[in-house]
Structure 1
Amino acid sequence: MQNLTNYVEKEVLNLQKLQDTRLWVRWLILFFALFVSIGVTSYYFATHYRNIITQEREILGGVVKRLDLNLNARLMALQFLASDVNQKKFDPKEMNKDLMRSVEILKFFNARIFDRDGKIIAEAWRSLNSVEVHDWESFNQVLVGNPIISDVIVSEQYQRPYVSLRVPVYSTNDHIEAVLAGGILLDDLKKLVEIEKIPVGHYIFIKDNNDRVVYYPDSGEGIVQSRFMRDMQIDFRQKSSGMIVDKSIDDEEDLIYIYDKLETSNWHIVMVVPLNQLYSAAFWHSGYYFATLCLVLLCAGLLYRDLKQTRYFEENIQRLRIERLMSVNQLAAGLAHEVRNPLTAIKGFMQLIARKMDQTPNPDHVEIILNEIDGIDHLLSEFQLLTLPLKTPNFIKIDVEQMINHVMILMKGQAASKNIILTFHTNKDGFISDYVDIMDGVTHYRKDYVLGDLTQLKQVLINLLKNAIDAVDSNGTVDISLSIRDKMTWITVKDNGIGMSGDVLANIGTPFFTTKESGNGVGLSVCYNIIESHGGRIEVNSEVGKGATFFVILPCVMYPTLAQNDKKASSSKTY
């Protein structure tokens, strides 16, 4: 018996270590899956975010190339015209014709030739002032031989802002004698910018090197106009191209400014993109990969759940096996007592028969002997169920009342050793209509059954009765009752023992939690798992010093059986 106890304690310790190890493994798997998910999602999000930024740069690059191409073509045309002017040796009449032709072909609003002092030599359209040079800085750069596009010029004569394309005019001895200039209104540049289709919510503006606006969207886009002051405060002169993230401290949305510089001027072409649109686009584009990752994680989760359920089933089987070994150990003493009493009676009657071998045995004595042998056989059969190897649960129709009676037979010896009274009574609520039928003039009593594994449910009752007996002092009582409420079978195990506190009740059913010095915390955990696997539940009521009541609640299955006329709604037995 001591060897069995040591073996059970060793198995409980191994099971507890195994459960702790698996708990850590589960946490590691969870953290690893979370880390991989965050890492992969962040990688794809960052990748698509960079791709979207690249696409935005390509859109801006298209605008920059179009402007560069258009302005460079006009500059080259002016350079050809300057060469032609040089060949005509500055003949004003001939130069005027060429300038008129350039205005018509190159879409200038005017074309002029200035001398080195800024005085007009010739012009396509006659102006009121003989001196009409603006932006001397760019003018002086042309005098050193650099074709250039000026910053924004606001002329009192034209009343509209424009930019000037300027190229040097060389003399026959390769000296710069004059400057040829063609003016383009900003309204004409606007058409070049707005040809490019950009996403909704994006917009483009252009600033010169003096932070003057070369182009800005129309006021019709109210949300754009409201950002004008904010856009003008951004300094793009530190680099020729790049990206600036401007996070608003107000309620306005955060913006990204992607900018580039024209080759032939100091202008910066800027595209404004709301940051939340970039994030949304990145998330949307990475949605396929994110969905794939979620599908993979879902499959991994289902596989893990299947493995976990398999391990959970194996652990339950192991716990149940340990609990059954403990039950066998504790029931052995009571079983010996229950077997010894009928054997004593059998031995006495057999000795009496042996002394009277010449006489016919008394039939009453033989009947007593056979009844005692049947009782021993029945007791050993019930005890043998606890020693059989565990198998996969076999759900069958179980007569609950009969099952409780069989368990009471097993437990009465253990209760008797402590002078504890075991009572069992049933209450069918006075034969209400749910439990009585009249079929063909014959009364049928609907007997309550449950669908479950007989061995496992017996194990639950044995554990609960064993705990109740341990909690009760000598001369105490343990009461088992059976009733039906709301189509559920209620098995109640009530004792008048020491009871339990609220802290103990909060941990009832937790694996390896116990209040007994020699306990291991496996029994009730096994009970809870078995009842839950049967679609039921266990409820507990207890107060310190007022005993405890356990309710085993299982789905009820009722089958009509032929009733005797004297069938009663309630019955009671004392063991």
Structure 2
Amino acid sequence: MVKKKMSGNIRVIIVDDLPETRENVRKLLQFESDIEVIGQAGTGEEAVQMAKEHQPDIILMDINMPGIDGIGASQQITESVPTVQIIIMSVQSDPNYLRRAMMAGARDFLTKPFGGDEVVAAIRRVHDKRPFITAKSTSKIPKLFYRPKKSTTEIQSKLTRLEAETTFLNILKLTEKIELFSHSLTEGHLVDQMAQITAGMAHDLRSPINLIITILDSIDDQEISSSPENIKKHILRVWKRIYYCKWLIDNFLGVSFNEQHSRKTISIRKSIEFSLNLIKPRFISAEIKISIPYYLKLQTDSRVFDLLILNIITNAFEEMPEGGQLFISSAKNETDVSIIIEDSGSMGPPEYFRIGYSTKPAHCGLGLYVAKRLIEQQLGEINFYRSSILRGTKVVLTFPRNRSFRQEFLELQDYIIHTHNKTLDNYLTYLEEKLNKFRKSTISEKNKEYISKEFKRITLNFARNLYNELSFVDSAAKEILSQINSLKLSKAFKKITHNCSYSQLLVRNMIEIGESTNPSLSSVNVASIIDEVLELLERKIPPQLFRINWDVDLTIGNIEADEIQMKQIFMNLIKNALDAMPNGGVLTIRLSQIKTFILVEIKDTGVGISNENLSKLFKLGFTTKPNGYGIGLYSISTIVKKHRGRISASSQLGKGATFTVLLPINQTGVLT
């Protein structure tokens, strides 16, 4: 339903394939007297149609949707209804996404999850800066108000906030990579290899974790308060653990991501207390003293700030394995705010900031490396000293009080033009060429071996830690389900277990990179497993876009296999098939028996795979997706080999692809 226009209101349409997300965004806007949500859409196609029919002022557009995605829908809307201003909403904040969003016509970009202040500010900002369009025009697309030509410098300084921040982050990213390669070719190649994984993981893992957080946040306080005490404790544990999962993911992504920031005013002390509440139960009790007034505020990105503080405080606790003292204070002057974190542990070596550095075998060694990147992205700096009070480590985080990305961008632009005599585009090209020279530099076989080993160690430790946390969340959620009578809570925690299962299967792909585990064999029904996988992927298979054809030999019995690994195989294959059909299509699943083997075919009507790429499909790191990370098919082939089976692929460009899996019915000769 779409509301009629009320005079003076900013008319908004919310577009997201998740009803829960649409409803939460609507709630964030419901008390704003000048903003009116006139409708909601669940697909890109619906968004295009509603924009044409109702011509809203603003559309809040999710990127990742089945069928036409948010960027494709934005492009169509911008071309057909240029008066509509689009704000992209996504868990993905990589500059490549920002660039694509801008090219499609987006005016701003919000990173999920965001708060009410952020979305309201973005709506008003975009609405206030909307371009003037002439009332009379003979062309199909009205002409923008004529502006006389200006010099290159003047035009560049008039870039939108989104364009300026994207350009700034791109330059920062390239400069940082060049400095890294200059310091160590080995570290540069290691970060490059990890960047390939993190780019694809952004949506794959953040999406279900953020959805769980959204579900928890939407649970009525009254429902929780009326629950038994043990249920309340379980819910609190789930909340803490899922935020810890989010921290692990954001930390891993922080190795290479340069994200767009949503700056707002935060209470420094409240953010620190949030971090302590999240991680303190994991460590032996320490005496903690916070000497920061609640009124001390900072203009920054709250997500980045929380991650930064979590990393520093976690490192402090780890330096005090037997307990100790933690003292957190602040200082400020006219230009800067500093946060000082002192512990009574042992002071670490200068290698602290090196990627992968850790004194603990089960740790990734990413925390301080990521912390350094994050604070530099916030235009601040981090320094380590010996604490004169507690005799341990003293970390000083310094943030500018009145600096903005816009100011930084303008100064950077001025520096580039006057020092390098280049336009921004030319300077970006210059940096890219310089970085490519480093990437082409040869490294020794010994260093290649080190990179491969470190890559697998870091990835495996991250995946194990995350998998363990997700297992706890899943177990706690199932325990809650077994004890509650509330239909609302039951529905919420069923969704949580559903998203945990999906996330765990994704994480197991990463575990396959670093360790080879033998299958845990049991009697499993392949058709039932595929049905469970389709249920996990239900959100990606809207019936109006996809048709599923089953062709199953009903005489097939169970096979002897690892149940979880079978789910990995078929989730990856079906997910890839759906990705190959961005505008919908037909998914065909065939199960048959050939002598002592079961044959499974997953066929799509998608874009197909070239002959050149068919031979590379199962290699680690190979992907044909713009944001793929080349793990899924490698993981599948590893699992199939462990089950003494075979996997193959065939394709015809423009007509689709077929993946065939052949698995023995018996592994040991006796089915249990």
Shorter-chain TM-score tier: 0.3 to 0.5
Higher strand fraction: Structure 1 or Structure 2?
A: 1
Q: TM-score, normalized by length of structure 2?
A: 0.28
Larger Rg: 1
Q: TM-score, normalized by length of structure 1?
A: 0.32
